[in-house]
Amino acid sequence: MTEAGNIGVLFVCMGNICRSPTAEGVFRKLVEMERLFGAISIGSAGTHDYHIGEAPDERAQLHARKRGYDLSAIRARQIRKTDFTEFDYVLAMDRTNLLAMQRSCPERHLERVQLFLSFADGLNAEEVPDPYYGGEKGFETVLDMVENAAAGLLRHLRSTHLNSA
């Protein structure tokens, strides 16, 4: 649990401008709709420093906005060592970023580092594909996967930490 007693969830991809801010925005809205914002802290980060301080990719923002998610206030940052102690769930979008985090995570917190799609229901995938170099359909696919996994993550948090249905 975070210092404030909240459950901390951090979404991580490579540059923190496509997948992880999308996951942050989707999960934040879901948590707000469920009136659980005071119980769950949410953030996102990247394993690389390519885009520090930048807003999410315009295409990610556009497709998210079409589904009612606002990513405009999110700014890219690189993951910090303290994130592994401040967040209970450090969720990678793919195996490359998972491995990068596992290498830098203190051993006592390795169980916090997981693949985000491990919470998805019925998806035949383990990784959220990077839409950055692809077309518009890639951003829609990411949103579909993220919405599924975000709902599963919330179910998990409710059953494991929040003791409510």
Residues near 5 by beta carbon (within 8 Å), at least 6 away in sequence: none
Residues 151/128, Cβ–Cβ less than 8 Å: no
130 is catalytic: yes
The one catalytic residue among 18, 19, 88, 112: 19
Judging by beta carbons within 10 Å of its beta carbon (0-12, 13-18, 19+), is residue 75 exposed, middle or buried?
Answer: middle
Tell me how far apart the alpha carbons of residues 102 and 108 are, in angstroms, rounded to a whole number.
11
Q: How many residues does the chain have?
A: 165
Detail the DSSP E strand segments found in 7-161: 7-13, 40-46, 89-92, 113-115
- Is 121 an annotated catalytic residue? no
Q: Which of 67, 95, 130, 158 is catalytic?
A: 130
Helix axes 19-33, 136-157, angle to 10 degrees: 50
Catalytic residue check, 18: no
Identified catalytic residue from 13, 83, 88, 112: 13
Distance of CA 3 to the CA centre of its chain: 20
Q: Which residues are catalytic?
A: 13, 19, 130
